[in-house]
Amino acid sequence: MKKIILLGTLLAATVLVYINYTLQESKAALCCDVSASASFNALADDAAFLAKHESPIPFKFESTAGEMITFTATDGKSASAFFLKSPTKSKKYLFVFQEWWGLNEHIRQEAEKYFNDLGDVNVLAIDLYDGKVANSPEDAGKYMQAAEPARLEAIIKGAMNFAGKGAKFSTVGWCFGGGWSLNAALLAGKKAKACVMYYGMPTKDIEKLKTLKTPVLGIFGSEDKWINPEVVADFEKNMQTAGKSLDVLMYEADHAFANPSNPRYKQEYANEAYQKSLAFIKNGFN
């Protein structure tokens, strides 16, 4: 009996070790910065952060050029995106990443705006929540925290496969999507041409930043209490240490100032930041 108990204990210990090893290997295999995502996701437990994110003002947008599509993520599951196809054959793709609310009408409008102004670029606004869209900060926090980094990476890689061989990628995102804009640029490797991140949590992993193959434009608000000037200063220092190019635009505004459905929307700053980001993306593709 003692031998059976000992054998069972050893077997259980072996299984636990294997599970832990597998989890660690899975995390290590991710190209994105899990720690940066976790840091931002943790904000959903901050009552003050939730209070700063009032429910979006009703916002209606009807597309004249885009449609929802599905594609296969690299985990074998289906994924979706709002797709705007270039009127001329093009291998240029702009990936657009949602705020923590999800792929809502505001993000679709932003995607179509870039599409119209870029001219010869395919635009994919990628759905990172698999169809879920939040109308309250509480739901947004739940959806954001439930979005597993491995799944998000599989979705982004699937979108890259959808673009096909020879595709070149630029990325733009806001808030939660700002951090994933940077992660997608890391995933794209040499195919990345420009990365724009609006008030997203930047990676602190200098070794990962060293693998970045594209310049970054970071757009932030000096009144943001979370992605604050200190966080931005650290990002600048880390990018410099990694030997990478970072341009920073810092506006006297709060978090999410570029979102017209946000009560703290700053139209003048949003318009200027958009024009800067547009020029940055165009230059990256040239």
pLDDT at 84: 98
pLDDT at 49: 78
Q: Is the pLDDT of residue 284 over 90?
A: yes
Q: Provide the pLDDT confidence category of residue 74 given band limits of 50, 70 and 90.
A: very high
What is the count of structural domains for the chain?
2
Comparison of pLDDT for 58 and 245, the residue scoring more: 245
pLDDT at 30: 64
Q: Are residues 70 and 20 part of one domain? A: no
pLDDT at 268: 98
Q: Are residues 270 and 193 part of one domain? A: yes
pLDDT at 11: 37
Q: Are residues 2 and 88 part of one domain? A: no
Phi, psi (deg, nearest 5) at residue 68: -80, 135
Q: How far is CA 47 from CA 54, 88, 137, 243, in A?
A: 12, 48, 10, 37
Tens digit of pLDDT for each residue in 180-193?
A: 999 999 999 999 99
Q: Are residues 49 and 19 part of one domain? A: no
pTM, to two decimals: 0.87
Comparison of pLDDT for 31 and 16, the residue scoring more: 31
pLDDT at 46: 78
Comparison of pLDDT for 185 and 28, the residue scoring more: 185
Range of the domain at 175: 32-285
Give the CATH number of the domain where residue 134 resides.
3.40.50.1820
H helices of the chain, in order, are 2-29, 34-42, 47-52, 105-118, 137-146, 149-163, 176-188, 206-209, 229-242, 267-285
CB 97 within 8 A of CB 129: no
Average pLDDT over residues 127-145: 95
Q: Are residues 181 and 73 part of one domain? A: yes
Q: Are residues 247 and 260 part of one domain? A: yes
Q: Are residues 245 and 207 part of one domain? A: yes
Return the percentage of the chain with pLDDT > 70, whole number: 88
Q: What CA–CA distance (Å, rounded) separates 35 from 201?
A: 10
Q: What angle do CA 274, 277, 278 make, to 5 degrees?
A: 85
Average pLDDT over residues 164-188: 97
Average pLDDT over residues 52-67: 82
Average pLDDT over residues 93-110: 96
pLDDT at 32: 65
Q: Are residues 55 and 5 part of one domain? A: no
Average pLDDT over residues 57-71: 88
Handedness of CA 230, 279, 275, 155 (dihedral sign): negative
Q: Provide the pLDDT confidence category of residue 54 given band limits of 50, 70 and 90.
A: confident
Q: Are residues 148 and 52 part of one domain? A: yes
Q: Are residues 46 and 19 part of one domain? A: no
Average pLDDT over residues 20-25: 38
Average pLDDT over residues 110-136: 97
Q: Are residues 14 and 41 part of one domain? A: no
- The amino acid present at 161, given as its one-letter code, is N
Q: Provide the pLDDT confidence category of residue 9 given band limits of 50, 70 and 90.
A: very low
pLDDT at 7: 40
pLDDT at 55: 83
pLDDT at 31: 62
Q: Are residues 118 and 44 part of one domain? A: yes
Average pLDDT over residues 82-100: 97
